[in-house]
Structure 1
């Protein structure tokens, strides 16, 4: 009997300890998505790359001739915090983590297609790891030109710790503790989590490995981790700012409801016709294609010196417009007011794209001065929204961005800049573009062009 009682006590103690361990895991709030032994709860789709478990790690191996292959969870998730460790051993092995991923099994003649939000693992010189790519759909949503400090976070040949928050319409990422990307987007509310083995271009890269481990998730009582630094937010909601943006000094220049904060150039009021606000969009109607000859340009009532300006624009076929800055309205000229111009143009169908010097009148260029160095894959076609951005720092360094990619850089007032002005249409204007402050201008060039999500932050 004594032996039986002792055995019962040992069993009871063991059960109690096991129960405590289980409770501790529940209190912690994390659930392991990978058990460290096999691929239970996961399945490969869309390609023929292989996945196996080696020493508690999921190892994916590239296969020649295969498209991108994904190991995806059998369960879908909505709001969550995901953490995992990811290692890339070769430059050919671009990878990523699908977040609220989607799968169409009928696509590609029944081979299936994975699409949706992907958090990048990019071992190339570009170094956009942690950025947000919309796989097989819209392309890059958050290139790391928007947060260049984060380009050094990812370590080649080492396990990198990823943290991904998908809460409501917000997706935020960290690599090795460093804040990387912040996107507000409402396209997908739920979806699977997926681990990518990318397709390869060279047969000799077959067998290259990408590894994943310590994959865990929280789905309840979520506590978002704040970004301590001021990270640029790609906010795809309509004319709205997050609390984070407001705390960091951003404000809307267009409220989406009316023309408050804007007036006609050289006028005291907003134009009575031509410009309109409807469904959260600011539009200039088509007229006869002439520059500022009908409704006319509009400018902010406020002036700005150093700033970060972001906006979206949508062109119709053959359309021409522009976003100007450091507009003083002091020149007394006819036509469009004078200022530095971020060109807004249908490069394929407007003749201005072939004028000027070496393409310096094409979309996103510093008009008539510096050609935008852009890749066609980062240009949205006519009828879709493109994202523009102009950053002017207090030391007069200026950058233009198109859809998150930096395409122009220069320094206002530098000798190089003045040499360009001297051979441009602006050579007759003394100290062109060097005013201490000026208005932001949206141009009426007689074509149908729309704007939205216009926001600005003063830089000090």
Structure 2
């Protein structure tokens, strides 16, 4: 039985059984498929020359050769080779249950993706949430996959912490408590009815595992970006990277009302680790009003989770100075938070520059297949401002906006926007972070920041 313990802002993991240092065990005997079972699709799996060979077949769903045993905390390694480019993956901590889509496999997957996007090594949740760690979050690892030869994958699971490595290069780092254990499986991806993809193969060899490793057997911490899905917490690697909670998850400490000396007496609620804008009349700052950080920031990496209700509008602003003496919401560069389908603001502006993730009224956000969650689900936003004034907006692991604060393109965009008459709009050397009250119910949590130098 595993137990996860939170101490302050840090995340620790413990096991009820204190195992000795683990030893490598072979999961494949090199001769047959003893200890494995096939699930879902009917791709073929066979053993030749000490390798497992999976071959695509037409009109079948994804196929999985799964271990009969489940694994919780472990270090896993495998080598694989594609004969021709196609998608695949290694399932881990995965499940197949009769009461979930007739036994459809779901669970974590270390991606095999030789396409132009180069996401091999990223973490995908098969059958449920989709991408947890698209590899755009770690450009260095996008270069690690080797075409037309053997690649070595390593997966490390310790409590809710998941780390992947491709050919020795750290790839993904996820903190996620959803699936504490499950089987490991080798995927042959479905090819639909594409006759040209029939007979493509993937080969696996040197499949081995350490169960319940000692702490010393896990890889040292590195500088890879961490996706932490446990609300209002910091993992050990995040703390080492200088990330801190900008909102502590339970109090108003560090925040006040915009243009006010204290936190608003109404219009905002803190409950169960969530900071909520109360619904009112749908107008800017007429109820509780915006809230801002006590601190000002220049170059930073800001992260936040947000949850929209139907038809809601809000925003996360940065470089807010409170010096414009305007009415309504305080002025600043804005990461737009909006229900694009139901709020009328999505149809205003130009080219979609008031939609979710956009630099409000200036630059529209790119929309990716997995970049927008359904209303009521939690989204992850991120704003990165580099010391050289490059700025990025990220939405659910996808970079959706990129610009340079203060360059000629930026100035031209401002001149054509609602901010044209505001002197030096968005160009302050530092400013507050702001969460907007636009009169709609919106929830925030896991607000974090790292100072960049």
TM-score in same-fold range (> 0.5): yes
Aligned to 1:435: 428
Q: Over residues 382-430 of structure 1, what are the superposed CA-to-partner deviations in whole Å (9 max), with x where a residue is unaligned?
A: 1110010011111111111110011110000111111111100011111
Q: Over residues 298-347 of structure 1, what are the superposed CA-to-partner deviations in whole Å (9 max), with x where a residue is unaligned?
A: 00111111111111000111000000001111111111111000000000
**Residue of structure 2 aligned with 1:66, choices 44, 48, 60:** 60
Paired residues of 1:89 and 1:156 also in contact (CA < 8 A): no
TM-score of the superposition, structure 2-length normalised? Answer: 0.93
Aligned to 1:81: 75
Q: CA deviation at 1:107?
A: 5.2
Report the secondary structure of 2:237's partner residue: helix
Report the secondary structure of 2:420's partner residue: coil
Find the aligned partners of 1:313 and 1:342 in 2 and give their Cα distance.
Answer: 12
Find the aligned partners of 1:357 and 1:166 in 2 and give their Cα distance.
Answer: 46
Report the secondary structure of 2:239's partner residue: helix
Paired residues of 1:53 and 1:59 also in contact (CA < 8 A): yes
**Residue of structure 2 aligned with 1:395, choices 379, 388, 412:** 388
RMSD: 1.3
Aligned to 2:195: 203
Aligned to 2:24: 30
Find the aligned partners of 2:253 and 2:21 in 1 and give their Cα distance.
Answer: 50
Find the aligned partners of 1:238 and 1:337 in 2 and give their Cα distance.
Answer: 28
Distance 1:104 1:370, change over 3 A: same
Aligned to 1:215: 207
Largest Rg, 1 or 2: 1
Higher helix share: 1
Q: Does 1:192 align with 2:186?
A: no
Distance 1:261 1:107, change over 3 A: closer
Aligned to 1:341: 334
Q: Does 1:95 align with 2:83?
A: no
**Residue of structure 2 aligned with 1:140, choices 119, 131, 139:** 131
Write out aligned runs for 1:345-364 (5 A): 345-364=338-357
Q: Over residues 87-118 of structure 1, what are the superposed CA-to-partner deviations in whole Å (9 max), with x where a residue is unaligned?
A: 22322x2011111011124655x5x3100111
**Residue of structure 2 aligned with 1:237, choices 214, 230, 236:** 230
Paired residues of 1:144 and 1:151 also in contact (CA < 8 A): yes
Aligned to 1:20: none
Find the aligned partners of 1:28 and 1:445 in 2 and give their Cα distance.
Answer: 54
Find the aligned partners of 2:308 and 2:357 in 1 and give their Cα distance.
Answer: 13
Write out aligned runs for 1:289-368 (5 A): 289-368=282-361
Find the aligned partners of 1:45 and 1:181 in 2 and give their Cα distance.
Answer: 26
Report the secondary structure of 2:252's partner residue: coil
**Residue of structure 2 aligned with 1:413, choices 391, 406, 414:** 406
Paired residues of 2:22 and 2:213 also in contact (CA < 8 A): no
Paired residues of 1:179 and 1:227 also in contact (CA < 8 A): no
Find the aligned partners of 2:204 and 2:323 in 1 and give their Cα distance.
Answer: 61
Find the aligned partners of 1:89 and 1:402 in 2 and give their Cα distance.
Answer: 34
Q: How many residues align?
A: 431
Find the aligned partners of 1:220 and 1:190 in 2 and give their Cα distance.
Answer: 12
Find the aligned partners of 1:27 and 1:413 in 2 and give their Cα distance.
Answer: 55
Aligned to 1:119: 110
Q: Does 1:168 align with 2:159?
A: yes
Q: CA deviation at 1:157?
A: 1.6
Report the secondary structure of 1:216's partner residue: strand
Unmatched 5+ stretches in structure 2: 1-19
